[in-house]
Chains A and B, each alone.
Chain A
Amino acid sequence: MSHTQDKSSALGQGVVIFVYLAVLTILEYFVAVTFSAVSILVVVAVIKLALVMYYYMHIYKLNEESDSDTHSYSYKTGSNRLGLWLFLLSDAFVFAGLLTVRINLLGLTRPHLNQLLGLGVTAILLISSFFMNRGETLMANGDKKGFINNAIITFVLGLGFLLGVVAVEWPTAASEGLTPGSGAAGAVFYMMTGMHAFHVFTGLIFLLVVINNARKDVYSAEKHWGIEAAAVYWHFVDLVWIIFYPALYLIGKLLA
């Protein structure tokens, strides 16, 4: 397996992409609170999607030429990669379906939610993606210790996001009258965040598995498909939130 980038430029790229994403998220937030322009929010979300898919999930690796020996690790990794992406494509239809439900039932309105809390959990998830990418890059350069440290940070941030949504956001919303049974807005809010939280939860388990295996020296610079899969899955969960965050918090007029 050849490395097209050296270690420092790969790490530097992760930082640059993170800065782009952070700036776009802040831009998104201010567009929403000052003049609600749906088209700008959609464009920003699409740019963020593209950045994450290309630089963090390295979708271009699907095109990588692999070893002609079908029993080699690199050939199998190529097949695994395609399988994982197909799984994500399939999973994306669930979230697209939920988005359709949201658009159909709520249209250009949105439920009353705690904006700072929303921005907070979004930031946490975004930062976790940055550390995930950093960890994977380090592993690809043979730095096992670096991977484990960054993956643990990712795990803690991910757990923070999960608790932020389920243990803080949900009770807050419920105390303000938005419950699962209160109406279409409540149903949509709990279903979208709940389905996403479930994916974060599975991502956390996946992270624990690869951290544990890394400690057992299962992975090397050349052979670490498990880590790549966990990272791509984690970024996918972030990707879903890139859409769901504006869909729930930012787009449309506040419901009375």
Chain B
Amino acid sequence: MKKFFSTALAHGLFWQLIGILVGAGLVTGIRATMGLSVTAKFFFTEPAWVLGGFFGVLFFIAGSGAVSDWYKWARGIDTPEHHEDHHTGWEKYLSVSLDHKVIGIQYTVTALVLLSLGGLFALIFRTELAQSQLQFLTVEMQLFGQNGPQLYNTLMSLHGMIMIVSILLGVAGIMNYVVPLLLGAQDMAFPRLNAFSYWIAVPAAVLLVMSLILGGFDTGWTGYPPLSARAPVGMQMFFLGVFTAGWSSILGALNVIVTVVRMRAKGMTAMRMPILVWASVATSIIALTATQLIGLSFQLVMFQRLFGMGFFDPAKGGNPVLFQHLFWFYSHPAVYVFVLPGLGVISELLPVFARKPLFGYRWIAMSSLGIALVGFIVWAHHMFTSGMNEYLRVPFMYSTLLVAIPTGVKFFSWVATIWKGKISYETPMLFVIGAIVVFLMGGLTGPPNATVSTDLHLHDTYFIVGHFHDTIFGGFVFPFFAALYYWFPKATGRRMNETLGKIHFWLMTPSFFVMTLGMMRIGLLGMRRRIADYDPALGFDNTHLVLTIAGFLIAISVCVFMYNFFNSIKNGEKAEGNVWNSRSPEWQVPSPMPAHNYDQPFEVVGEPYDYGLPGSKYVEFIAPSKNTHK
């Protein structure tokens, strides 16, 4: 326990609390001198909570020590390029480290924590939905200043956003851990910025959870005004939390792009980069730029609430639909931020387990960029029913359908890579195949939503919910698990239990199909999304019960995974060699990876995925005598 209190996490959380009190106290003091009200339903007034939340983030960052080197630089003091970690045990992962591998693991574990939290929220409201009528989230109950249905709304909204943050952190975790290794770099281009990007996500997560306690909010994760302009104060914490998490994503993306451009090994030309690197660049281009727009849109609603600025208030000449444009300009491309690295993982792992060259390398590399760029011009397909100008509908329909082309390229490549391969079905490969099938389901259910005529009926139904979960499980969750099983030995020198891994897969996949297909079925029949209750006369009770059971089965399978993951760190079977018989450079050296990665730099001498071709080689380590660097 004493060890815990000396970590950056403990310091940061302590200072965040102080920051909240200072910020809120400041506003309360000013209000008192101005003769305004100083307390409200949740003790402090709304402006006090907002400044408090903001100060909390600043104090967390300062208190955790993530910016201490920058502070030294600002005062003209030089610091060594690399810091050795002070800690060796688990405390290392709760402290500020500049090592990209440590940061990658920090990201990944935080993502798993948030995944569990978001999943828990889902289980709570899924249980309520198992039967029509309100069973335990009743109108009479009260918790955190909300009654049952309001709590349902908050949990449902937070499930969305906490999962999104979890996914962003998971994506960052994979990119952080793997990309520098694939490039042959010692670290990311900006190690301090990397640490900052991770640490700022922690107070953001705290703010999101605070929104639950401070009265919650009932807008869904999208936070549309006018509803979000008058939701409880929890709305502001939600906005602030997302805004803060956005900076994590933006700065992390910046770091990835610079690292890929500047720090590749000798001989690694663009067309010899691993596919996961291409996917990371594509994802980072979106995260770097578009994320600002969700931050801005939330900030504008925040200011509308605080200062009465009428951006989205029609009574003041504002335009609520404008919010949706700003919001979706990020939030649609965001789904490509979630799935592109996952699709990269699929392409990365498939040749390893099929023992065949990746089919159509160039096309796959370009399709990632293609999806990212087309993704910038499709946002208004979320708004076909919003009352936006009707002439915008058809162009956005076509641009959306265009996404199917680069995505289709990926599928053809995967199928052609599997074709006549010598496939071995180890756990990572199972998840890769699962990802392909599930993502295909998500892909096929997309065009009905993109087509105006059908979307007008499907909008806001469970069909959308089913479609979305298919794309995200196929594009992120399955590949994420595949990546964790695959790179786990690299990080720990041990491998996860195969039997438990297979149980995880065979429990999760069928349950997941039952869940999303069931969602789509009742969606087509008219089940509206985001509501706490439904009319028993609709006859959805049985389907909802099945969906709830399927949801719990998925949760159990994830519990199996969690046990396997944390247990294998200490007790897993030793695996220090090239476990998967991969050609990739990180597997050519023993696991776990030492602190500054490769002892000897390597040179790229061939194509990355020429599995099964005799005599072919991807990398060659440069002998120390030939090495010109120190």
Determine whether the beta carbon of B292 is less than 8 Å from that of A91. yes
Query: How distant is A83 from chain B, measured CB to nearest CB, in Å?
Result: 5
Instruction: For the A-B complex with A78-B262, A212-B76 known, give 17 more contacts whose Cβ atoms are closer than 8 Å.
Output: A70-B629, A79-B190, A83-B193, A83-B255, A86-B258, A94-B292, A94-B296, A97-B293, A98-B296, A100-B326, A104-B322, A180-B303, A180-B309, A184-B319, A185-B317, A186-B310, A188-B311
Q: How far is the CA of A181 from the CA of B307 in the complex (A)?
A: 6
Q: How far is the CA of A212 from the CA of B74 in the complex (A)?
A: 9
User: Is A113 part of the binding interface, using a Cβ–Cβ cutoff of 8 Å?
Assistant: no
Determine whether the beta carbon of B318 is less than 8 Å from that of A184. yes
Tell me which of B76, B189, B304, B318 contacts A83 (CB under 8 A): B189
Q: List the A side residues contacting B76 at CB < 8 Å.
A: 212-213, 216, 218
Q: How far is the CA of A212 from the CA of B311 in the complex (A)?
A: 41
A18-51 interface (Cβ within 8 A of B): none
- Chain A binding surface, main DSSP class: helix
A67-93 interface (Cβ within 8 A of B): 69-71, 75, 78-79, 82-83, 86-87, 89-91, 93
CB-based nearest B residue for A186:
B309
Determine whether the beta carbon of A181 is less than 8 Å from that of B309. yes
User: Is A209 part of the binding interface, using a Cβ–Cβ cutoff of 8 Å?
Assistant: yes
Count residues of B near A (Cβ-Cβ below 8 Å).
43
User: Is A187 part of the binding interface, using a Cβ–Cβ cutoff of 8 Å?
Assistant: yes
Tell me which of B190, B258, B297, B318 contacts A105 (CB under 8 A): B318
Among A82, A87, A101, the one with the most B-chain Cβ atoms within 10 Å of its Cβ is A101
Q: How far is the CA of A93 from the CA of B287 in the complex (A)?
A: 12
Q: How far is the CA of A186 from the CA of B309 in the complex (A)?
A: 7
Determine whether the beta carbon of B296 is less than 8 Å from that of A83. no
User: Is A56 part of the binding interface, using a Cβ–Cβ cutoff of 8 Å?
Assistant: no
Contact with A along B69-88 (1 / 0, CB 8 A): 00001111000010000000
Determine whether the beta carbon of B254 is less than 8 Å from that of A83. yes
B270-305 interface (Cβ within 8 A of A): 288-293, 295-297, 300, 303-304
User: Is A108 part of the binding interface, using a Cβ–Cβ cutoff of 8 Å?
Assistant: no
3 smallest CB-CB distances across A and B, nearest first, come from A181-B308, A184-B317, A187-B309
Q: List the A side residues contacting B250 at CB < 8 Å.
A: 90
Q: List the B side residues contacting A180 at CB < 8 Å.
A: 303, 307-309
User: Is A191 part of the binding interface, using a Cβ–Cβ cutoff of 8 Å?
Assistant: yes
Q: How far is the CA of A86 from the CA of B303 in the complex (A)?
A: 27
Contact with B along A167-211 (1 / 0, CB 8 A): 000000000000011111111101100000000000000000100
User: Is B257 part of the binding interface, using a Cβ–Cβ cutoff of 8 Å?
Assistant: yes
Determine whether the beta carbon of A94 is less than 8 Å from that of B311. no
Q: How far is the CA of A69 from the CA of B73 in the complex (A)?
A: 23
Q: List the B side residues contacting A186 at CB < 8 Å.
A: 309-310
Q: Which residues of B line the A interface, CB within 8 A?
A: 73-76, 81, 189-190, 193, 250, 254-255, 257-258, 261-263, 288-293, 295-297, 300, 303-304, 307-311, 316-319, 322, 325-326, 329, 629-630
Tell me which of A100, A187, A216 contacts B316 (CB under 8 A): A187
Q: How far is the CA of A190 from the CA of B307 in the complex (A)?
A: 11
Q: How far is the CA of A184 from the CA of B290 in the complex (A)?
A: 24
Tell me which of B75, B190, B310 contacts A183 (CB under 8 A): B310
Q: List the A side residues contacting B309 at CB < 8 Å.
A: 180-181, 186-187, 190-191
Tell me which of A83, A93, A97, A191 contacts B303 (CB under 8 A): A191
Q: How far is the CA of A78 from the CA of B288 in the complex (A)?
A: 19
Tell me which of B189, B304, B308, B326 contacts A79 (CB under 8 A): B189
Q: List the A side residues contacting B307 at CB < 8 Å.
A: 180-181, 190
Q: How far is the CA of A167 from the CA of B457 in the complex (A)?
A: 53
Q: List the B side residues contacting A104 at CB < 8 Å.
A: 319, 322, 325
Known: A82-B262, A93-B290. A209 touches B74 (CB 8 A): yes
CB-based nearest B residue for A217:
B76
Determine whether the beta carbon of A82 is less than 8 Å from that of B318. no
Tell me which of A70, A83, A183 contacts B258 (CB under 8 A): A83
Q: How far is the CA of A86 from the CA of B311 in the complex (A)?
A: 29
Q: List the A side residues contacting B74 at CB < 8 Å.
A: 209, 213
A-B contact pairs, 22 of them (CB 8 A): A75-B262, A82-B262, A83-B190, A86-B257, A90-B250, A93-B293, A94-B292, A97-B293, A101-B300, A104-B319, A104-B322, A181-B308, A181-B309, A183-B317, A184-B310, A184-B316, A184-B318, A184-B319, A187-B303, A187-B311, A213-B74, A218-B76
Q: How far is the CA of A86 from the CA of B190 in the complex (A)?
A: 13
Tell me which of A83, A90, A209 contacts B292 (CB under 8 A): A90
Query: How distant is B256 from chain A, measured CB to nearest CB, in Å?
Result: 10
Q: List the A side residues contacting B296 at CB < 8 Å.
A: 94, 97-98
Query: How distant is B5 from chain A, measured CB to nearest CB, in Å?
Result: 33
Q: How far is the CA of A212 from the CA of B71 in the complex (A)?
A: 13
Q: How far is the CA of A212 from the CA of B75 in the complex (A)?
A: 8
Determine whether the beta carbon of B289 is less than 8 Å from that of A93. yes
Q: How far is the CA of A93 from the CA of B311 in the complex (A)?
A: 18
Q: List the A side residues contacting B318 at CB < 8 Å.
A: 105, 184, 187
Q: How far is the CA of A94 from the CA of B298 in the complex (A)?
A: 12
Contact with B along A98-139 (1 / 0, CB 8 A): 101100110000000000000000000000000000000000
Q: List the B side residues contacting A100 at CB < 8 Å.
A: 322, 325-326
CB-based nearest A residue for B303:
A191
Q: How far is the CA of A180 from the CA of B311 in the complex (A)?
A: 10
Query: How distant is B131 from chain A, measured CB to nearest CB, in Å?
Result: 44
Q: How far is the CA of A98 from the CA of B81 in the complex (A)?
A: 38
Q: List the A side residues contacting B293 at CB < 8 Å.
A: 93, 97
Q: How far is the CA of A184 from the CA of B261 in the complex (A)?
A: 43
CB-based nearest A residue for B81:
A71
Query: How distant is A45 from chain B, measured CB to nearest CB, in Å?
Result: 21
Query: How distant is B602 from chain A, measured CB to nearest CB, in Å?
Result: 14
Determine whether the beta carbon of A93 is less than 8 Å from that of B292. yes
Query: How distant is A147 from chain B, measured CB to nearest CB, in Å?
Result: 15
Determine whether the beta carbon of A183 is less than 8 Å from that of B316. yes
CB-based nearest A residue for B317:
A184
Q: How far is the CA of A93 from the CA of B76 in the complex (A)?
A: 32
Query: How distant is B432 from chain A, measured CB to nearest CB, in Å?
Result: 32
Determine whether the beta carbon of B288 is less than 8 Å from that of A79. no
Q: How far is the CA of A191 from the CA of B189 in the complex (A)?
A: 34
CB-based nearest A residue for B288:
A90
Determine whether the beta carbon of A70 is less than 8 Å from that of B263. yes
Q: List the A side residues contacting B295 at CB < 8 Å.
A: 94
Q: How far is the CA of A97 from the CA of B258 in the complex (A)?
A: 25
Determine whether the beta carbon of B316 is less than 8 Å from that of A86. no
Q: How far is the CA of A82 from the CA of B190 in the complex (A)?
A: 11
CB-based nearest B residue for A206:
B74
Determine whether the beta carbon of A79 is less than 8 Å from that of B310. no
Q: List the B side residues contacting A82 at CB < 8 Å.
A: 257-258, 261-262
Q: How far is the CA of A71 from the CA of B310 in the complex (A)?
A: 51
Q: List the A side residues contacting B73 at CB < 8 Å.
A: 226
